[in-house]
């Protein structure tokens, strides 16, 4: 039966390790705030307790003891008795099957509380009870198994033990560990000694856990990694990528290989996921951390999908991955576990995640010594542009681009120039990216297709290109995207869609288009958010409209057209109140003289002597002509001219 124990009893002569099938540290601010609130609500004077949850553990195997020996415990392990002897005390060793997030978080908090204690004897007592014993070096009571990413980071960076080497590779999980440490440092900033001791008492005596040891489940033959996968369908669920790692390790353990082969391939799987999380979390900015499962889907499309699949199969990619490719019905003879096949898809996965990082962070690689591929400014700009479409329009194209980069983007080789073939490959990539931009502009911005339009047919191209594509295949692929996939486009429908609301003023693509026009004028992309303003104001400002007599003379219908016409809109860093045109020009000139940010398309307004109907129409055509020319769109002929006349 499970025991209910306070935290201090959890660590009574016990050693815990987090096994390699576990996810890394995943708690973020909401979970940290919840734990902090739970502790705050424990009132020591009321003899209050808090049930924190279930810890699921299992006894160490011989392999687990071997890992512990590699960590430096070799002289402390008694394999016959299955114990670890430190400072003449016997410790039982356990794997944490479930509950590592809570336990890790509490220990991070406890380590920060211990740092605030002033008396060395108190600090040593806490350290010996919950963190380490000294015997031929510090021997930690809690941590990851030695090959698991984050092991050294937890001890060296979070517990601040310089006797452990720094972690060679930082990942999203190490960023999470660091965030938790800083979170608690801020919470404890004004704590005095009494506050510190009270909170320690709450943690060690008033937090209760139910402890379930799976090794004591008599008469059962549980597979622990599958127990872990099942347990993590509740609470903070595993991502598909985390579950995939666990499934691969489980299937590997069931293959008819020798123990040394399984151990070696297990290390390869762990190193592959280390590489994956290194790159997914490489840019720690909140909006730049990449989603686990977006990469998993991109890789599944690349390696495991096929060109006969339909939309529902692409949508249910995880079902295909876990119930077909890595299912539990054919455990002992899974083709993806065969040595050559396993090596190939793991190698491809490591290659793919680096390029997926580039796709999502095209300019960050400029200063990244670990990114060893050739690329061009045009490729970078196109990748950024494909991320800039509103509402994620056409973002599924990035999955196809991954397949193209995997096959064609040339790696850097020391002291070796690009070959003619590699230069041609770079040009082919540039052309494909431009075709993807054009597709998204035509289908989504102008024509208003739904976000999944053409997704199914593009997804069918991905695995096909990965398996058989090369530079010679690119022209046909580009031709399909440039012609077949946009064959429905016509300007009359575009105009009808745009004029259903407030014309261009509330059109989904207005920010994208005005930024692109400004870049055309200035040569510099606009990265920040901008405000879209009207020159001739709307009908809520009749007194200001009166200053624009040439436009204001028209009837309501025409005035509405000119108000929300593309040429009457301009972008700025801020929203501006309606004003006569001369005051607009004065404001812009003053902002330039004061060194404020003024966009080139804003400065361009100073060239107009006044603001009349002809200027609205002229500027509308000027911007439309720019878009048509840049992306070789069909000629709109008189579509807009007829509309505004």
- Name every residue whose Cβ is closer than 8 Å to that of residue 161 and which is 6 or more positions away in sequence: 132, 138, 140, 155
Residue 234 clears pLDDT 50, i.e. is over it:
no
Average pLDDT value over all residues in the chain: 91
Q: What is the pLDDT of residue 230?
A: 56
| Helix, strand, coil in percent for the chain, rounding step 5 | 60, 10, 35
The Cβ of residue 100 has, within 10 Å, a number of other Cβ atoms equal to 24
Mean pLDDT of 329-333: 83
Two structure tokens written together for 63: 């392999």
- Name every residue whose Cβ is closer than 8 Å to that of residue 553 and which is 6 or more positions away in sequence: none
Q: What is the pLDDT of residue 192?
A: 94
Q: What is the pLDDT of residue 221?
A: 53
Two structure tokens written together for 455: 């997704």
Closest C-alpha among 266, 31, 285, 10 to residue 145: 266
CB 203 within 8 A of CB 7: yes
Q: Return the bridge partners of 207, or none.
A: 50
Residue 410 clears pLDDT 60, i.e. is over it:
yes
Half-sphere exposure of 56 (CA within 13 A, CB side): 16
Coil, strand or helix at 534: strand
Two structure tokens written together for 124: 């040593």
Percent of the chain with pLDDT over 70: 96
Percent of the chain with pLDDT over 90: 74
Alpha helices in 58-139 (DSSP H): 62-68, 100-116, 120-130
Q: Flag the least confident range among 103-107, 141-145, 164-168, 193-197.
A: 164-168
The C-alpha atoms of residue 460 and residue 480 are separated, in whole angstroms, by 13
Closest C-alpha among 463, 441, 483 to residue 302: 463
Q: What is the pLDDT of residue 113?
A: 96
Compute φ and ψ for 256, nearest 5 degrees.
Answer: -85, 55
pLDDT per residue as tens digits for the range 189-198: 999 999 999 9
Alpha helices in 377-442 (DSSP H): 377-387, 397-408, 420-440
CB 480 within 8 A of CB 437: no
pLDDT per residue as tens digits for the range 511-569: 999 999 999 999 999 999 999 999 999 989 999 999 999 999 999 999 999 999 999 99
pLDDT per residue as tens digits for the range 87-128: 999 999 999 988 889 999 999 999 999 999 999 999 999 999
pTM score, whole prediction: 0.82
- Name every residue whose Cβ is closer than 8 Å to that of residue 256 and which is 6 or more positions away in sequence: 332
């Amino acid at each position: 039966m499970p025991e209910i124990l306070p935290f201090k009893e959890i660590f009574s002569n016990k050693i815990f390790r987090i096994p390699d099938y576990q996810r890394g540290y995943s708690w973020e601010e909401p979970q940290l705030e919840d734990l902090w609130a739970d502790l705050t609500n424990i009132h020591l004077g009321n003899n209050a307790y808090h049930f924190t949850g279930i810890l699921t553990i299992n006894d160490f195997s011989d392999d687990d003891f071997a890992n512990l020996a590699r960590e430096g415990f070799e002289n402390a392990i008694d394999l016959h008795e299955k114990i670890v002897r430190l400072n003449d005390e016997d410790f039982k060793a356990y794997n944490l099957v479930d509950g590592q997030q809570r336990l890790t978080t509490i220990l991070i908090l406890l380590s920060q509380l211990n740092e605030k204690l002033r008396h060395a004897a108190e600090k040593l007592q806490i350290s010996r009870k919950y963190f380490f014993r000294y015997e031929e070096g510090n021997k930690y009571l809690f941590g990851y198994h030695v090959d698991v990413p984050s092991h050294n980071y937890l001890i060296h960076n979070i517990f601040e033990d310089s006797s452990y080497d720094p972690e060679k590779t930082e990942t999203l999980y190490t960023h999470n560990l660091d965030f938790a440490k800083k979170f608690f440092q801020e919470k404890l900033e004004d704590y005095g000694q009494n506050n510190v001791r009270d909170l320690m008492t709450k943690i060690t005596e008033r937090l209760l856990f139910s402890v379930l040891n799976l090794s004591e489940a008599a008469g059962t033959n549980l597979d622990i990694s599958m127990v872990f996968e099942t347990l993590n369908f509740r609470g903070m669920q595993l991502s598909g990528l985390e579950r995939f790692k666990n499934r691969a390790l489980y299937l590997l353990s069931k293959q008819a290989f020798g123990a040394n082969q399984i151990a070696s391939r297990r290390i390869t799987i762990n190193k592959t996921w280390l590489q994956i999380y290194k790159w997914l979390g490489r840019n720690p900015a909140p909006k730049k951390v990449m989603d686990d499962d977006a990469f998993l889907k991109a890789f599944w499309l690349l390696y495991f999908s096929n060109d006969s699949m339909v939309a529902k199969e692409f949508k249910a990619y995880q079902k295909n991955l876990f119930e077909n490719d890595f299912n539990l019905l054919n455990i002992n003879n899974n083709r993806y576990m065969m040595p050559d096949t396993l090596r190939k898809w793991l190698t491809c996965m490591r290659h793919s995640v680096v390029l997926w990082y580039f796709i999502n962070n095209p300019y960050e690689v400029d200063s990244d010594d670990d990114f060893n591929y050739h690329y061009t400014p045009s490729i970078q700009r196109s990748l950024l542009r494909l991320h800039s479409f509103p509402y994620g329009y056409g973002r599924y194209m990035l999955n196809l681009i991954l397949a193209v980069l995997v096959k064609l983007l040339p790696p850097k080789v020391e002291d070796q120039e690009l070959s003619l073939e590699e230069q041609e490959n770079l040009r082919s990539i540039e052309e494909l990216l431009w075709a993807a931009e054009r597709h998204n502009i035509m289908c989504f911005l102008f024509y208003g297709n739904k976000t999944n339009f053409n997704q199914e047919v593009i997804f069918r191209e991905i695995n096909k290109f990965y398996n058989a594509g090369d530079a010679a295949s690119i022209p046909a692929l580009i031709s399909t995207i440039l012609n077949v996939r946009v064959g429905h486009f016509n300007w009359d429908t575009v105009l009808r869609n745009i004029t259903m609301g407030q014309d261009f003023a509330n059109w989904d693509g207005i920010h994208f288009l005005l930024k692109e026009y400004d870049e055309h004028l200035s040569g510099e992309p606009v990265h920040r958010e901008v405000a879209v303003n009207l020159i001739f104001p709307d009908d809520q400002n009749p007194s200001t409209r009166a200053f624009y007599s040439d436009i204001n003379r028209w009837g309501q219908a025409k005035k509405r057209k000119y108000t929300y016409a593309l040429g009457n809109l301009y972008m700025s860093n801020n929203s501006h109140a309606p004003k006569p045109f001369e005051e607009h020009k004065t404001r812009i000139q003053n902002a330039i003289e004061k060194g404020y940010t003024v966009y080139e398309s804003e400065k361009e307004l100073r060239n107009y002597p006044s603001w009349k109907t002809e200027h609205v129409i002229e500027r509308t055509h000027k911007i439309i002509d720019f878009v048509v020319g840049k992306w070789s769109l069909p000629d709109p002929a008189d579509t807009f001219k007829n509309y505004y006349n």
